[in-house]
Amino acid sequence: MRLRTGRIEATPIRFLLLGGLVVGTLDILDAFVFFGLRGVPLIAIPQSIASGLMGRAAYRGEIVTAALGMLLHFGISFTVVSVYYAATGWVPALARKPLLFGPLYGLVVYGVMNYVVLPLSAAVTGSGPKPAAVIVNGLLIHMIGVGPPSALFASMARQRADAA
């Protein structure tokens, strides 16, 4: 049985894609506002994401590397939602209580991105410790804007998959 919403069928993949779009949008808007208020040019934000692949060259690529950064950002967001979805297959409680486990998942995502992915990438990072405001903002956006929406959309996708 498949739920139909208007003319668009609500399938698991559609929930995952929509979840990736929502999570990616919330996260990048937070970065634009938070770092923009601190004087960072908006184009530099997606370029910093592209620097994970390209290193310093990402900042010389103008709009092309900014577009690459946005593509990578939303790809990561889709992956974050998809990982939660996969986990609901192993731990069904994750799908039953997304608002409980979502913020915790956001913290896990923050940790993996900052302490595994970034150090292994070519990303250009500042020397020394991050300012406290950057850490607090990162933790909050992951606990509010990344984890819970990931959990909610993944849970809806799991319900559709289980109903099929």
Digit-coded pLDDT (tens) for 92-120: 999 999 999 999 999 999 999 999 999 99
Residue 70 lies in a domain: no
Residue 87 lies in a domain: yes
Residue 62 lies in a domain: no
Residue 50 lies in a domain: no
Above 90 in pLDDT, residue 5? no
Query: Which tens digits make up the pLDDT trace of 16-73?
Result: 999 999 999 999 999 999 999 999 999 999 999 999 999 999 999 999 999 999 999 9
Residue 4 lies in a domain: no
Residue 107 lies in a domain: yes
Residue 46 lies in a domain: no
Total count of domains within the chain: 1
Q: What is the dihedral of CA 130, 135, 136, 137, to 10 degrees?
A: 100
State the pLDDT at residue 128.
81
State the pLDDT at residue 101.
98
Residue 137 lies in a domain: yes
Range scoring the smallest mean pLDDT among 72-81, 103-112, 118-127, 136-145: 118-127
- Burial class of residue 107 (count of CB atoms within 10 Å of its CB; 0-12, 13-18, 19+): middle
State the pLDDT at residue 1.
43
* φ and ψ at residue 5, rounded to 5 degrees: -115, 105
Cβ pair 113, 73 in contact under 8 A: no
Q: pTM for this one?
A: 0.92
Host domain of residue 19: 9-38+75-163
